[in-house]
Amino acid sequence: MMFGFGDSHSPNPDTVRLVESILLKQLRTLIQEALKYSDGKNLGGEELVFLMRHSKQKMRRFVTYLRNKQNKMILQQPVGSSTIQLVDTPKGPLMEFIERIDETGEFTDLTEFDEVKLERQLRADRISQALDEKRYLEFCKARCRSFTSNYTIQRSLEKLRLWVDPKKEINFKGEALDVLAYYAYQTIAEIVDYALLVRMDTKSGSNPFDHIPGSYYTATMFNGKHQFQEDNPDYSKVHSSQPQITVNEIREVMRRVHTPQAGKLNFGGPIPETHFLFAL
């Protein structure tokens, strides 16, 4: 997953273990925060989704996830079993809950530009263009990794439940584990994003153009060169000789998250609305 988000083809094992420990702590914190809106023992998907209410952009991204998930289920239906009709607004318990708390309609308004998502797609596109067929297939597989498998979804969710709650003290209801898996995926994505931003900051020096929005998604994260300083940056380094994200870079991310005044840690825009819960 880290490779799919922009790390080296062979991530540093120590970095992976550190990211895993951060992820586990984040998920358990999310669970405890969500339990404040339940009876303390039973956790539903609605309580977890409610935590995203302060970020309209992340809520919109989750709405897109729900829509794509439902459309995928529709497309997987046997031919002739029913009329296939893709939908723009999925209906289900979580979507109905979002509509109930969305007083202004901004959570379900998907017309606004999502800069972060576009820059992630740009990064993946730049990498894929430089890869041969074999490496491209490996990169695609990494991009498709998630905490739920297409063919063993229930088994994957059960593993996730045992990981975050090995003593089975919490009763996860309905789609709670699915929302938790989505949070886990987004957390890994943002940790890698921030680590690459930290790397850019260490190499940018005093050049003011190195800090423009989006620069850390392109050439900078591969070879330390800004996208406007080199005509043909070698994006293939992401697969062959791209430096691994280091433990120190992840630690610097966490230092900046907990003490934002110590250094900028944003996507070229406003400071994140949450202090340390990446998925929110």
pLDDT digits (tens, 9 = 90+) for 163-197: 999 998 999 987 899 999 999 999 999 999 888 88
Locus of tokens 């998604």: 217
- What are phi and psi for residue 252, nearest 5 degrees? -70, -35
Amino acid occupying residue 159: K
- pLDDT grade, residue 79 (50/70/90)? low
Q: Residue 177 has what pLDDT?
A: 92
Q: Residue 186 has what pLDDT?
A: 93
Is the per-residue pLDDT at 254 higher than 50? yes
What is the CB neighbour count within 10 angstroms for residue 148?
Answer: 19
The arithmetic mean of pLDDT across residues 46-66, rounded, is 91
The arithmetic mean of pLDDT across residues 196-208, rounded, is 69
Is the per-residue pLDDT at 202 higher than 80? no
Contact in structure between 171 and 41 (CB atoms under 8 Å): yes
Is the per-residue pLDDT at 208 higher than 60? no
- Cα Rg of the chain (Å, integer): 20
Q: Find all residues with CB under 8 Å of 121, minimum gap 6, and list them.
A: none
- pLDDT grade, residue 257 (50/70/90)? confident
Is the per-residue pLDDT at 112 higher than 90? no
Give the containing element (helix H, strand E) for 185: helix 176-204
Q: Residue 12 has what pLDDT?
A: 92
- Of 5-19, 121-135, 144-158, 159-173, the least confident: 144-158
Locus of tokens 């931003």: 197
pTM over 0.85: no
What's the whole-number average pLDDT of the chain?
78
Contact in structure between 89 and 95 (CB atoms under 8 Å): yes
pLDDT digits (tens, 9 = 90+) for 61-78: 999 888 888 777 767 666
Give the containing element (helix H, strand E) for 42: strand 42-43
Higher pLDDT, 71 or 22: 22
- Of 92-101, 137-146, 263-272, the least confident: 263-272
Contact in structure between 143 and 124 (CB atoms under 8 Å): yes
Q: Residue 77 has what pLDDT?
A: 66
